[in-house]
Amino acid sequence: MNNKKPSRRYIAYIILLILAGEAVFILPFVLARVFRATVLEVFKINNTELGFCFSVYGIVAVFSYLFGGPLADRFPPRKLMGTALILTALGGLVYASSPTFQILIILYGFWGFTTIFLFWSAMIKATRVWGGNDNQGKAFGFLDGGRGLVGALFGLLGVFVFSLFVSETEISSEVQLKAFHYVVYTSSALVAIIGVIVLFFLKIDKETEATSHEKITFKNIKTVLKLPSVWLLMVIIICAYVGYKITDIFSLYAKDVMLYSEVDAAKTGTFLLFIRPIVGVVIGFLADRSRPSIYLCIGFVLSFFGGILFASGILGQETDILFFLSIIVTAVGVYAARVLYFAVMKEGNIPLTLTGTAVGIISFIGYTPEVFAGPAIGYFLDGSPGEAGHQQVFWMLTIFSVIGLFASIIFYRNSKSKS
């Protein structure tokens, strides 16, 4: 996107990217984030077992990042992304059938393939092309902020559908199961519809098309691996993504520690989702006025303080205001880092034509929290039930925030010296 007033075509393009970018993760992650307590009850599993499902997803995803990256340099985004959305929605039919734990593991492995191998790098490359030379912060800010808004709206819709079948005080297992099934069916239908729209209408112009036919070669991979910024981004994304995974437990924290009802706990998870679009847009605009890596550092500082607040044990039943303020501080930090870790690719001198390959390689290491974060969180929560387990999880956030901050400072200094 250049500095001229964007055309309707470019506006439609980013809107479709935003819709697709969050819709593909609604079934594997957003529902579990908003309805975590309900998911545990419906599938008769504990936090460790749910973490294992996420781990299987992560194992498939890690290799999908590596091989799906070069694929994004070869084929148009709309074909890869549209197919991924439709296949992911079909998995929702299995999810709504109350599968056994074994089937649930296979389903998460399937989602690891559809959402990453076919989708992820294609989305990142399409966004980077849309941002052009001067608007990388805005592009990724709009993408992640918009995705947050879409996720929040899906969360609100899910809570609304769920609340139609349950009361605030009493809920039987049968009613809970029926309500959650309707939530899954509704979400699956919307994901499939978005997939069809993307497949046919995510059109790109000739200039963008030319960047989507780079041949898959080992020379490109070697070129990417020689860039110091690529290795630093691996560390930065590991740390930022651990923080993002930990935001999954806020609704459970509300239920276990703050003693909220299931509906109120789900509302807490949805409130968290509404913070994301605000952070995305604001940070995106700020990042384009200076170096994005500066705000990457600020994000890790905020997530560090948020982790300290939750890990310290000062939050309890009578501290509702402080609880929500702590959520805001933590979420702003986590989402700021998430918005910018691909927006700094231009600052790190990563060639546009090798974006797919670079994203694949960076994500192969950077998203390993998909493998270990879920089981680690489950281990802490189940090993020390109640507030103690939650505190251990947030100490993990604090440690990774410190590591991410140091990596971001080094990235900033390196890019500044080269410029």
Question: Of 216-225, 250-259, 301-310, 405-414, which range is least confident?
Answer: 216-225
Residue 114 reports pLDDT greater than 90: yes
CB of 285 closer than 8 Å to CB of 137:
yes
pLDDT given at position 206: 47
* pLDDT-wise least confident of 180-184, 373-377, 406-410: 373-377
Q: How far apart, in Å, are the Cα atoms of 37 and each of 9, 45, 171?
A: 42, 10, 13
365: Cβ contacts below 8 Å, ≥ 6 apart: 234, 237, 238
Between 32-46, 164-178, 191-205, the lowest mean confidence (pLDDT) is in: 164-178
Look at the block and give the residue holding tokens 């989305």.
123
Residue 2 lies in a domain: no
Is 2's pLDDT higher than 50? no
- Residue 32 contacts residue 226 (beta carbons within 8 Å): no
Q: How far is the C-alpha of 334 from the C-alpha of 28, rounded, in Å?
A: 20
Q: Give the range of the structural domain holding residue 19, as residue numbers without chain letter.
A: 8-418
**In this structure, what token pair is assigned to residue 265?**
């706990």
Give the CA diameter of the chain: 62
Using an 8 Å Cβ cutoff, are 233 and 411 in contact?
Answer: yes
pLDDT band at 6; cut points 50, 70, 90: low
CATH number of the domain enclosing 98: 1.20.1250.20
Residue 386 domain-assigned? yes
Cα separation, 408 vs 402, in Å, equals: 10
pLDDT digits (tens, 9 = 90+) for 332-366: 999 999 888 888 888 888 877 777 778 888 888 89
> Looking at the domain assignment, is residue 1 inside a domain?
no
Q: Is 268 left (phi over 0), alpha (psi -120 to 50) or beta?
A: alpha
Using DSSP's 3-state secondary structure scheme, residue 68 falls into helix
Dihedral over alpha carbons 216, 222, 223, 226 (to 10 degrees): 150
Q: Does any domain span residue 45?
A: yes
Is residue 3, in this structure, part of any structural domain at all? Answer: no
Assess if residue 62 is contained within a domain.
yes
Q: Quick one: tokens of 19?
A: 């819709």
Buried b (16+ CB within 10 A) or exposed e, 288-317: beebbbbbbbbbbbbbbebbbbbbeeebee
Percent of the chain with pLDDT over 90: 37
Is 60 domain-assigned?
yes
Domain assignment present for residue 94? The answer is yes
How many structural domains are present in the chain?
A: 1
Which of the four pLDDT bands, split at 50, 70 and 90, describes residue 226? Answer: confident
pLDDT band at 231 (very low <50, low <70, confident <90, very high): very high
Residue 171: its pLDDT value, please?
67
Q: Per-residue pLDDT for 207 more than 70? A: no
Closest alpha carbon to 250 in 401, 57, 390? 390
